[in-house]
Amino acid sequence: MRGIEALVLLSTLSSSVLAAESSRPRGVGPEFAKFYKAADSFTCISNPSIKLDFSRVNDDYCDCPDGSDEPGTAACTYLSALSPPQPVVGAPNTTLALPGFYCKNKGHIPNYISHTYVNDGVCDYDVCCDGSDEWAGVGGVKCEDKCKEIGKEWRRLDEIRQKSARSALKKKTELVNEAQALRAGVELRISSLQVEIKEQEKKVEDLKKKYEEVERSERGKVVKSQGKGSKVTVLAGLAKQRVEELRDALIGLVNKRDELRRTVKELETILSTFKEEYNPNFNDEGVKRAVKSWEDYAAKKDAAAEIDESAEDRDIEEISKPDSETEGINWAEWETEEESDVEALYKFEEYLPASLRDWVHQKLTDLRIMLIENGILADNANSGSESKVVSNARTAYQTLNDDLGIKQSTVGDLTNDLEKDYGPDDIFRALKDTCVSKDSGEYEYELCWLDKTSQKSKRGSGSTGMGNFVRFDKLYVDEEIDAEGKGLGTGERTVLMYENGQHCWNGPNRQTTVVLACAEKDEIWKVVEQEKCMYRMDVGTPAVCENGQRKADSKKDEL
Amino acid sequence: MRHSLMLSSRWTALLVVISALCCLFSPAISVKHENFKTCDQSGFCKRNRAYADTAAATSNWEAPYRIAPESLTWNNGQLQGTILKTINTNGDTVRLPITISFLKSGSARVVIDEEKRQKGEIELRHDSKIRKERYNEAESWAIVGGLDLSKSATEERGSAKSHVKYGPAGKFEAVITYAPFGIDFKRDDATQVRFNDRGLLNLEHWRPKIEQPEKKEGEEASGVSAGEDESTWWDESFGGNTDSKPRGPESVGLDITFPGYEHVFGIPEHAGSLSLKETRGGDGHHTDPYRLYNADVFEYTLDSSMTLYGSIPFMQAHKKDSTVGVFWLNAAETWVDVIKQKEAHNPLSLGIGSKTDTKTHWFSESGLIDVFVFLGPTAKDVTSAYGELTGYTALPQEFAIAYHQCRWNYNSDEDVKDVDRKMSKHNIPYDVIWLDIEYTDDKQYFTWDPLSFPNPTGMLEQLDKSERKLVAIIDPHIKNKDGYHVVEDLKKKDLAVHNKDGNIYEGWCWPGSSHWIDCFNPVAIKWWIGLFKLDAFKGSASNLFIWNDMNEPSVFNGPETTMPKDNIHHGNWEHRDVHNLNGMTFHNATYQALLERKKGEIRRPFVLTRAFYSGSQRLGAMWTGDNQASWGHLAAGFPMILNNGIAGFPFAGADVGGFFGNPEKDLLTRWYQAGAFYPFFRGHAHIDTRRREPYLAGEPYTGIITQALRLRYSLLPAWYTAFHQASVDGTPILRPHYFQYPSDESGFAIDDQFFVGGTGLLAKPVVTEKAESVDIYLPDDESYYDYFTYQIYSGKGKHNVVAPLEKIPLLMQGGHIFPRKDRPRRSSGLMKWDPYTLVIVLGNSGEAKGELYFDDGDTFDYQLGAHVHKEFEFKDGVLSSKNIGSKGKLTDKFLNSVKSVGVEKVIVVGAPKAWEGKSTVKVGSGQAGLEYHAAEGNKAAWAVVRVPKVAIGEDWKIEF
């Protein structure tokens, strides 16, 4: 099988080969010259058992099953796995022996082109600048040799390309340096933070101890009345406040629910009208799916018996009414309770002598703490009131501890960042947070390195996310490179995958495959929608340039 | 990227909400049947069927139509007179002029009109300004010749019947019975076609509307109106649209019986079998008549009598050794009921020797009864006679029969160029790339989207480099938008279709609010032609051609997705009268426009159409509309294409890959293998589908698809020869078995295999999933050879042919010679100078014959003799090439231009054993090498002549 893809670029030509050139049959490249030396007979290259009279070479009839007797005509082009099969005799080697028709292209670079281009009536100057592909002049076509001008122009552009390639490599080195510096910066920051953390951890430990001590001692103290009234009345006050908050929230929620119900109703009306009125001739899969799922939705809704919500609503209405003497809780009854006997009993300490009183007090406190610590008595630390001492100690401890947490998580983030894939040499670290954009027909596209891709329509409507960066990948491509050296070329290329962009009408979530090739500056060359809402961006950047490597066969397309 | 499609942003927003609500569901794919009428919902269909039922249920039913014998006159092959229709029990009659013409060609034509309407003695309701006559101009659109009257026909009039002898050697006879009116068309004394056999002739005469007193509530309709259901006489509503029917009921109907004929074919376009089914219910039958009312049917269903995009009211009936046909020339909505009745001639041999009559019943909503009768006796005679009237297929541009790469949509000029490059890069031949509606600036035809197609000229230039073409879509709806020069001109010049009130009609289509050009108007055609001039249509070039879609016309908000029937066209004809012609008039205008886009440069147009009528074959190609990526739709393609072919419109194809949905790779591959045998070969896809250019499929699929494409390309000389034949005598390009083997009864209903032109190639592309082989039916005892391996198959009946994915079941029938060009090129244009390969397939007789026709494939110079037409014959060991073309002014010049084109090899399949050891053949005074390959197992012997050095344009002999 042959084809343009089988084109081989000959980058070097030895002078001895050049000397032998004139004796080669038409279309034969120098490396195959040896097969065509015998004067009287020709042996099929891959099928040595087949010998032909030399007059059969290039006689426009295909004799060799490997096509080697017709290096200069299109006679053997039907020998191809892409052509309809024909009966063959025996089991010859049918692999094509020649890479193509050899265009000498004197004054430029020699090239093999597909034999299917030979004598088809078209001058294929882009691959065969000397016009030798149309030697028979079929239909009166004349292809003059244009290698001089094409070669000159190519060399001019190639110089620019090489210059640009050198400069691209330089830029790449700068990027690598920048990336290394950025990495070093991160590492530095981590180590200084780690030092700080170590010190701070100790301080936090101290403050924690202190706080716990203070708190422990405070815990033993009996709650001193904070105002008039007992704990029950305090509780009642708090409870009332809470109940009112909850009630307000409930009313708010009910209102919101009603509003949403109205919205749903409105949407359902729109949708059922839509279902009646939509036009199937718009041939829109999405509309059809939408109608179908609306029908399913409506059917499901009909099927589920309407739950009677009136009782529930009545309850809610009842609950929502403000409390009063006759409705709900009569808070007044709770807020004004007299001092009880139990409370008076607690005051017996006041009748004891001071020394004894202190002793008893101490014992009582110890007992209380013991009881609290054993879970027998409730801890009043949670009861809402806390002494100033405790809260100060706690604040001091917590503030420092929080700060420590931030520092620790910063270290975590930074460490993760160091481990994150920024490509070889960490190079994309230098590009992170920068973006490039391109004006392409209807849209302006934007690529933010390792962040997101987006498109903005020129016909209004805002920016659409085309994906968020998820990973690096590799892709084999076989693409054109234009005269200015823009284009992916042929070979394996670095790919940035951006996924989970905005959902597409009738389609998937948008995603972008960003394919990178070496260029002097960051530039989006081309954006194509390969499949519905699956985009490919061909992007040039110095970040993927490699020393000594050129994008394969970058010359071919400018020939 | 194109989600702005055709939804306003409000809808888009709403739908986004909905799609957020929905998660997973499978799309429901089916036609919205409720958008299209069943017979019951079509007033005149229901009335005519009811009439048929009444007739059938009435013993001694007598049709109330009789010829007044005294009115008859015979003049020059034409019998004229008056039919009297009795309209009530008082015996009142209305006068219906009848003309029966006997044509030189052997065809007969019967026209029945209505005197009152003809003379304008009727009143129109609603102050309508439309014409009062029955529509009588269908002829001026559909018929282009063959109307010369027979000079040899003779009439012999009796008191009850008139006998007319006509046709070749006077072998045909028409027996016209006066009362009740009826005609028997006979050949060799046997009736082949019978009019009004069942007494269903019906011509709804004009009557004024008698206002019935308003019915009081609760009061039942009293049986005053003696059985006639008037509910659909004066207006009809469907889907929210009301038809005002200013002329009241006016339908015409006639029953046509084919005695002894079991099969009828034709009346496309329907998604069903070649042999038409019965339509009045029963096991496996349709329940509605075959309907002909051009309509944009969304996601059509298979095996249905439902109407589709085009109509050709031409039917053939076939029985052993005889084919006859009828052509119902009426452009209004038409339905055809088909029933088959077995009649045992000998009551003792029930079943055996019993014959089947096919009885058809035709009715149209308005217009004349105008029927042509063709008496064969062969299918070729019938299609040829039909073609003489409506014209033969236009000889297409050569590129038009190569491969077309289409998609809704290629997104930009860069996208087009990219696909073009990739096809070349993958060595996949193609000739034409297509642009659907998105190339326009805001759906305004004759403009390019300035953002996505900024450089159409550059795009066309790149394509031209490898002789490739572009086809862009232009539809009849013209966007109603201020500042759009085309619509402003259309309005200013008053060239659009009008509504019933006489104002410019406004409807909705792709561009939103639109107007429709009225191509019945000669001024509109002239204006349309001007729009296509290369200097008027900016960004166009001579390698740009046109696709006419939506010309049924499709109107999104109209009744049955088309125009209201009471719309008014040029000449004050109602849309009702001309509906089925509408698409052809638009197609015609575009055809005219492409003839001479640059002064002095006249080239063959290429215009694809979706809607069509009898005569559309003169203008370009058609395709079967919006099919689906399913095996069922793949299988449905061939019966539809075969049916179109025998109905005079062979340049037909289905969208390869299926328009809606994403084909699995094996389906796509099989579809390309099938598509390689579509006369019109185009891959197409809906905007919501994934890209599927052949190079995207990956191996082994891309390779197999490329083989199928290259097979098509190598056989292009044979295809072009078949197109040429169709263009001169109407012979279909894909020929069904009944057509080629009229005596072989077991082949009559076969519609999944066919012969390609006169090549003897018998193909049965695989159309089922996971098939490993197919059974090919051989109609005779000739030798058949596998196209790719020369394996021999012989013996009448079914043969199993192994067909893994990479294999197309394709046989070569012995006795034929066909031409090929085996060198793969980028496009057909680049194959022009390549040498030919001739394949001689020797049959049982040891002889073979074939043809080659070619010309410049582009201009009309062939009409002045610039062509080569050869007959090849292999007989008694000699292959001869003989000129059978006509010589003209440009013959010598053309021959000179192709003198370098020769024959590179002659392959003889089934070569005689006697050639073993023979190494040369005699060519004129010289000689050429011969390689002989002996038979191996069940593979035939074959021989190859090596470079005989003969020019294709000359006469020569090769002696073996």
Report whether B924 contacts B956 (CB < 8 A).
yes
Rounded CA-CA distance A73/A138 in Å is 12
Q: Is A192 part of a structural domain of the chain?
A: no
- State the DSSP code for B828: G
> Of the residues A88, A120, A145, which one is the last residue of a structural domain?
A145
Rounded CA-CA distance B583/B516 in Å is 11
Tell whether A20 and A121 lie within a shared domain: yes
The SS3 assignment for A256 reads: helix
Catalytic residue positions of B, numbered: 549, 552, 626
**ω into residue B700 within 30 of 0, thus cis?**
yes
Closest Cα in chain A to B559: A279
Beta carbons of A279 and B556 less than 8 Å apart: yes
Q: Mean pLDDT by 10-residue block, N- to C-terminus, for chain A (559 residues)?
A: 38 40 84 90 94 94 96 97 93 93 96 97 95 95 96 92 90 92 92 90 89 79 53 77 86 89 88 77 72 81 68 80 76 64 59 73 75 68 64 85 90 90 90 90 90 87 89 90 86 94 84 94 90 90 80 44
A122–B contact, CB cutoff 8 A: yes
Beta carbons of B939 and A506 less than 8 Å apart: no
Cβ neighbours of A270 in B, within 8 Å:
14
Q: Where are the beta strands (DSSP E) in A145-257?
A: none
Closest Cα in chain A to B941: A87
Cβ neighbours of A61 in B, within 8 Å:
904-905, 946-947
Closest Cα in chain B to A464: B1
User: Is residue A188 exposed (0-12), middle (13-18) or buried (19+ Cβ within 10 Å)?
Assistant: exposed
Beta carbons of A532 and B688 less than 8 Å apart: yes
A267–B contact, CB cutoff 8 A: yes
Tell whether A15 and A141 lie within a shared domain: yes
B298 closest CB neighbour out of A81, A281, A528: A281
Cβ atoms < 10 Å from Cβ of B913? 9
Report whether B721 contacts B851 (CB < 8 A).
yes
Cβ-Cβ contacts under 8 Å between A and B: the total is 189
Helices B379-390 & B716-729, crossing angle to 10 degrees? 70
Beta carbons of B22 and A297 less than 8 Å apart: yes
H or E element, residue B237? strand B236-238
Q: CB neighbours of B13 closer than 8 A, spacing ≥ 6?
A: none
Tell whether A1 and A138 lie within a shared domain: yes
Rounded CA-CA distance A419/A395 in Å is 36
**Minimal CA separation from B1 to chain A, in Å:** 7
Beta carbons of B707 and A271 less than 8 Å apart: no
A301–B contact, CB cutoff 8 A: no
Residue B868 CA: distances (Å) to CA of A140, B619, B729: 19, 23, 18
A59–B contact, CB cutoff 8 A: yes
CB interface of A with B, residues 155-194, below 8 Å: none
Report whether B775 contacts B808 (CB < 8 A).
no
Q: pLDDT at position A333, please?
A: 73
Token pair for B240: 């929210």
> Of the residues A296, A312, A336, which one is the last residue of a structural domain?
A336
Overall number of domains in chain A: 3
CB interface of A with B, residues 210-239, below 8 Å: none
A529–B contact, CB cutoff 8 A: yes
Rounded CA-CA distance A11/B543 in Å is 38
Evaluate whether ipTM surpasses 0.85.
Answer: yes
Tell whether A442 and A553 lie within a shared domain: yes
Show the domains of chain B with their CATH numbers: 40-209+230-390 (2.60.40.1760), 735-959 (2.60.40.1180)
Strands, sheet with B432-435, edge to edge from the N-terminal-most edge strand? B652-653, B621-623, B607-609, B544-548, B469-473, B432-435, B403-405, B681-683, B655-656
Q: What angle do CA B204, B210, B216 make, to 5 degrees?
A: 125
Beta carbons of B830 and A122 less than 8 Å apart: yes
Tell whether A438 and A313 lie within a shared domain: no
Rounded CA-CA distance B953/B960 in Å is 21
Beta carbons of A116 and B3 less than 8 Å apart: no
A292–B contact, CB cutoff 8 A: yes
Beta carbons of B22 and A286 less than 8 Å apart: no
Beta carbons of B933 and A87 less than 8 Å apart: yes
Tell whether A21 and A123 lie within a shared domain: yes
CB interface of A with B, residues 457-496, below 8 Å: 458-459, 461, 478, 480
A114–B contact, CB cutoff 8 A: yes
Beta carbons of B703 and A116 less than 8 Å apart: no
Beta carbons of B688 and A279 less than 8 Å apart: no
Q: pLDDT at position A278, please?
A: 76
Q: pLDDT at position B18, please?
A: 46
A387–B contact, CB cutoff 8 A: no
Q: Is A393 part of a structural domain of the chain?
A: no
> Of the residues A277, A307, A336, which one is the last residue of a structural domain?
A336
Rounded CA-CA distance B911/B941 in Å is 5
Tell whether A310 and A437 lie within a shared domain: no
Rounded CA-CA distance B772/B766 in Å is 9
Tell whether A3 and A138 lie within a shared domain: yes
Beta carbons of B825 and A120 less than 8 Å apart: yes
B21 closest CB neighbour out of A5, A293, A503: A293
Report whether A343 contacts A230 (CB < 8 A).
yes
Closest Cα in chain A to B827: A120
Q: Is A404 part of a structural domain of the chain?
A: no
A52–B contact, CB cutoff 8 A: no
Q: Is A309 part of a structural domain of the chain?
A: yes
Which parts of chain B sit beneath pLDDT 50?
1-29, 218-226
> Which residues constitute the domain of residue A277?
231-336
**Minimal CA separation from B822 to chain A, in Å:** 6
Beta carbons of B21 and A280 less than 8 Å apart: no
- Phi first, then psi: what are they for B930, rounded to 5°? -130, 130
**Minimal CA separation from B427 to chain A, in Å:** 6
Tell whether A21 and A140 lie within a shared domain: yes
Beta carbons of B3 and A279 less than 8 Å apart: no
**Minimal CA separation from A420 to chain B, in Å:** 33
Instruction: Give the global pTM.
Output: 0.86
Cβ atoms < 10 Å from Cβ of A184? 10
A3 closest CB neighbour out of B18, B427, B688: B427
Q: CB neighbours of B253 closer than 8 A, spacing ≥ 6?
A: B48, B51, B200, B201, B202, B203, B361, B362, B363, B364
Cβ neighbours of A532 in B, within 8 Å:
688-690
Kindly report the length of chain A.
559
**Minimal CA separation from B435 to chain A, in Å:** 16
Closest Cα in chain B to A267: B14
Q: pLDDT at position B156, please?
A: 96
Q: Is A258 part of a structural domain of the chain?
A: yes
Q: Is A321 part of a structural domain of the chain?
A: yes
Q: Is A216 part of a structural domain of the chain?
A: no
Tell whether A131 and A239 lie within a shared domain: no
Domain at A548, CATH number? 2.70.130.10
Q: Is A106 part of a structural domain of the chain?
A: yes
**DSSP string computed for A533-553:** TEEEEEEEEGGG--TT---BT
